[in-house]
Amino acid sequence: MKKIVLHRFLFGILFIPTILMAQTEPEDVASITNEFENNFFESLKQKGIENYDKAIESLDKCLVLEPDNTAVLFELGKNYLAQKKYPTAYSYFEKVTQIDAKNRWAWVGMYDVCYETQDYNKAIPIVEKLITFKDSYKEDLVSLYMNTQQFDKALELINNLNETVGKSEKRELYKADILRDAKYQSAEKFNLLDQIKKFPKEESNYIALIYMYSQSNQEEKALEIAEKLEKEIPTSDWAQVSLFKFHLNNNDGAQAVKAMNIVLPSAKIDSKIKHRMLNEFLIFATNNPQFEPDLDKAIAYFDNDKNVDVAKEIGKFYFMKSDWAKAKKYFELQTKTHSDDIESQKLLLQSYVELQDFKAVAKKADDLTQYYPTQPDLYYYAGLAQNQLGNFKKAKEALEAGLDFIIDDVSLEINFYLQLSETFNGLDDVKKKESYFAKANDLSKKQKK
């Protein structure tokens, strides 16, 4: 809790009450007044150099002369507070308020003591009194309610402040913490509905309510609010985020595409939400292939996204489903803009293999070995492709070159030996064919043990 900083130095202002002593000689009155002033100003001097004990001694002398002088009592409170003698400091500040309930600085002093001792429950009625002097203390009261776990009161006050003075980051964080507890969400839904009614052009209230309804699986109500938002603020990108989901659920691909094409280029919408939308549309397009061109268009919006390689992720999606043609398509998109993405290059090679496009495999693998000469997988793909194309000498060159770069990868080594066995079979070298086949067989047996 961050307390409001108040500047309250008294600059030596002293209110000395009129002394009505009819039988006292004028020179005696002057003597008492001089003694009081001297001691009081001495206390200010000593406090200024942090000699609090000396300051208290001088103030005690003043108190003998004028027991109800609020300036003296207040200064005693400040000096004891500086010494961290909290109960004593509190008692002096409290005495001031008992004499003069409108003395704001004394209430502040009491609040200072409660804050230093972290007695937040005791601070609440004091801050409630301070609010009568200055509205800004409501911010302190929110923090006190949070620290004392009076979340219902905190939420009510937060909403009041949001409406009267506008939202603040700190209050919004408090509110988010409160609303994690479902028992407060119902009241907040009613509050947001009320805010929408009062301020129909305030977009944030719609967004918050849509989110709350979605989190509690009240999809129809979330749609209703999204439609209200679209009606009141036709230019709202956030309305389209919610409408997109509902259009997909209703199998209305055309409207979903329309909403998606508004959201994806929007600078207002977080990239995580955009990624989620794209993933949802990917699944939809898989079952409705007529929308695949719209998927390709959507991917283009992510070309400059440094956080997620969208084309690659979609390629992997189709790769896992063994849809090799679509996997190839998206890996080609990825490698076109990210030629150094070796993982995507290898997945693209495997997609070509599955499609039996060995000319593409041979060309791609040969090109890649020029840039990545120590990657054994690339030589394997080159050798496999040349074997399939009947170019056994080229296959032999590629496979023998790549064999030297294999480190601790038994499965890949076995595959190399099998391809070399096929290569020498094509070269009519039966001895080497059988030798490599035997090596592959021995390694395979050891791997199973």
Query: Is 1.25.40.10 the CATH number for 1-118?
Result: yes
Q: How far apart are CA 42 and CA 445, in angstroms?
A: 98
Categorize the per-residue pLDDT at 323 as very low, low, confident or very high, splitting at 50, 70 and 90: very high
Q: For 123-166, how does the pLDDT look when each residue is reduced to its tens digit (9 = 90+)? A: 999 999 999 999 999 999 999 999 999 999 999 999 999 989 98
Q: Is 95 within 8 Å of 87 (Cβ atoms)?
A: no
CA distances from 363 to 132, 326, 382, 386 (A): 82, 20, 8, 10
CA dihedral for 104, 109, 111, 115, sign (positive or negative): positive
Nearest CA-CA partner of 365 in 87, 350, 340, 209: 350
Q: How many CB atoms lie within 10 A of CB 134?
A: 12
Q: How far apart are CA 262 and CA 264, in angstroms?
A: 6
Would you say residue 9 has pLDDT above 70?
no
Q: For 267-300, how does the pLDDT look when each residue is reduced to its tens digit (9 = 90+)? A: 888 787 888 889 999 999 989 999 999 998 988 8
Would you state the CATH architecture of domain 356-449?
Alpha Horseshoe (1.25)
The pLDDT of residue 308 is 75
Q: For 220-274, how does the pLDDT look when each residue is reduced to its tens digit (9 = 90+)? A: 888 788 888 888 988 888 888 878 988 998 899 999 999 999 999 988 887 878 8
Outline which parts of the chain fall under CATH 1.25.40.10. Answer: 1-118, 356-449
